[in-house]
Amino acid sequence: MANIQTLEVPIKGMDCAECTQHVQHAISKLDGVKSVDVLLATEKAVIRLDPDKVDMPAIRRAVASTGEYSVPETVSPPRASYIQDFNRQLMIVLALVFGVVLSIVIAGEWLGLFKFLEELVPFPIGVLIVAAGGLPIYRNVIRAALKRQVISHTLMTIGVLAALVVGQWVTAAIVVIFMRVGEYVEHFTTESARRAVKELIAVAPQTARVERDHVEVEVPVSEVRVNEAVIVRPGEKIPVDGEVISGHATVDQSSITGESMPIEVSNGSHVFAATIAKLGSLRVKTLRVGADTTFGRVVKMVEEAEAHRADVQRLADKFSAYYLPVVAAIAALTFLISRNPLSTAAVLVVACSCSFALATPVAMLASIGGSAKRGLLIKGGKYLETLARADVVLVDKTGTLTLGQPQITDVIPLDGLPHSEVLTLAASAERYSEHPLAEAVRTAARAQNAQFYEPENFESIPGMGIRATINGSLIAVGNRRLIPSADSLPVVKQLEEQGKTLLFLSREDQLTGILAAADTLRPEVPAALAELRALGIKRIELLTGDNERTASALAEKLGVAYRADLLPENKIEIVKEYQAKGHTVVMIGDGVNDAPALAQSDVGIAMGAAGSDVAIEAAHIALMREDWTLVPQAFRIARRTMGIVKMNLAFTALYNVIGLSLAAFGILPPVLAAAAQSLPDLGILSNSARLLRQKEN
């Protein structure tokens, strides 16, 4: 079997969606390349390949063969925000220049100045001006033609030739000017879409101060080793994910969670890379570095989100491929009917295929990048589009609707076992369990200064509980599926009707104790569920492994449907059940026990994914802080994004229909057609930029 590897290759020179198609086509033809996603936002290609058949020099040659793009030898660091500010200012200047040039062109056409210029300058000189001004564009068109490809500038170049054929070199020159202006407009349109992603990447610290041989040394972050001690001073960014081993500080975690309120950390606290120690200094034991940190994983997901393209984006890409031949056919028909070469040239010049290709990705990139800053990690436009039409929401209980920090409220000894011994045996058996209820048992036992026994033959049974050998006796701690004999006791019904979750303890298959735990409902949940209903969600259903009575008590309090006594595989079947009925299903869980259901759902949302590998990998959307207000916010963002995408597509379609019609009937001359074809890009940019300014609520 081939050894398939994934390689990320930076690509230089891509400014439009059409560029990515050319690069993707060139790389995909290489023998040994299994798949390739070319990402415009982060200017790179993610390639799955067989390293025995294709290497980096071959990829570099393939990209270079396009004639327009290249693979740089070194990767430049993310640009600072002041450069982004410069780009924004330059974009404004460019728009003003465009407006001034357009006004001059209209006035010149109306006053007949262009005719005077044609008479003043000899035609051969005019041809040289046109050739020199558009040389880079002509070169790309010729290269594409040699590869049997038609690009957006192909039609405009034909329009330039048509103008020269009829002796109007000034018209051809103005078309070239607007072709060049259009290139810059599209470049900055793309840069604006990239901005949110690049600013996110630029947050990452580049160096770290580490202790080596009792001396503080500043090194690049990539050289920090796991378990090494990192020193963080007041006002500095924390460079790694780690555990505080000394010191105390107030940390701003907004880069990870989107939460503006700083938190206090001290010994034993976990901290994340790219967060800022506002007050105080820290000594941190390194647990993760670079791409393995929570921030690194967030950046990677945002970078690759473009690969998960929405269906509407794929449709637009296909439309763009067929659009240019259709325009060529319209131009030919125009010439056959009117015999007017200028009208034919205007048809070719006014067609704007790039705007179709830009309509979706610009909006998606703006939305995904902006959402990441607020603690909402969306893995691709595909999931935004799906979330926008979702009508069923399924919700886990522990750690999702509740805080996931249950406390033991009742300990009931049975079979003559002392109260303290029930806690000691349960806590000892649960000593190495990661379940929230296990931690509650251990906490209660520590509060009574219990001495834990060392468990042997520990066995975790998903959806049921655990078994272990304690002092030679088989101890089981779990729910009624693990210990069915517990169901007949009157006290069980009484406790469960109070909404408490019960753990049953048995020794050698003999029921010896009951522990009752209560978890706290997240305070923002009722209001968030009300918002989901107001957004038109038809059904919200609680899925839990708790028993019928406990689930019923919580569901009644929240006004939702419920299903109880579920194993992880049961939740998957429920997701499939709704999908089979034609519903679009959103599953919200904690990303651990619910990982299979999160993956099966149309959109899986993981709560509080900061630091959780399973949550980020399994879910399609991850909430980087445990805050239910982000859930309806995600729905609103998805719907607003799709609304803007549809507006972009409708505007582009209408604009092109009007432009082609006016050009075909001779109403729009080539000069104004050249100016008109650049306007949709500006419209798409300004419309999509609203997603960067969307409010959190």
The distance between the two most distant Cα atoms of the chain, rounded to a whole number of Å, is 113
Closest CA to 671 of 185, 177, 175: 175
Contact status, residue 496 vs residue 502, Cβ threshold 8 Å: yes
Rounded to 10 deg, the angle between the 630-664 and 525-534 helix axes is 30
Q: Residue 233: CA atoms inside 13 Å, Cβ hemisphere, count?
A: 6
Q: What is the dihedral of CA 135, 141, 143, 148, to 10 degrees?
A: -170
Q: How far apart are CA 512 and CA 492, in angstroms?
A: 14
Give backbone dihedrals phi and psi of 39, rounded to 5 degrees, phi first: -105, 115
Is 623 within 8 Å of 608 (Cβ atoms)? yes
Q: Say if residues 286 and 242 touch (Cβ distance below 8 Å).
A: yes
Give Cβ neighbours of residue 582 (< 8 Å, ≥ 6 apart).
none
Tokens encoding 268: 């034993």
Q: Active site includes 396?
A: yes
Q: How far is CA 347 from the centre of its chain?
A: 39
> What letter represents residue 236's amino acid?
E
- Write the DSSP symbol of residue 626: S
Residue 659 to residue 33: CA distance in whole angstroms: 41
Angstrom distances, CA of residue 284 to CA of 144, 236, 245, 291? 55, 13, 6, 18
CA dihedral of 676, 682, 687, 689, whole degrees rounded to 10: 180
Report the alpha-carbon distance of residue 546 to residue 560 in Å, rounded.
15
User: 257 exposed, middle or buried (CB, 10 Å; 0-12, 13-18, 19+)?
Assistant: buried
**Cβ contacts of 142-147, under 8 Å, gap ≥ 24:** 143/66, 143/67, 143/68, 144/22
Q: Which listed residue (241, 252, 317, 396) is catalytic? A: 396
Q: Which active-site residues does the annotation give?
A: 396
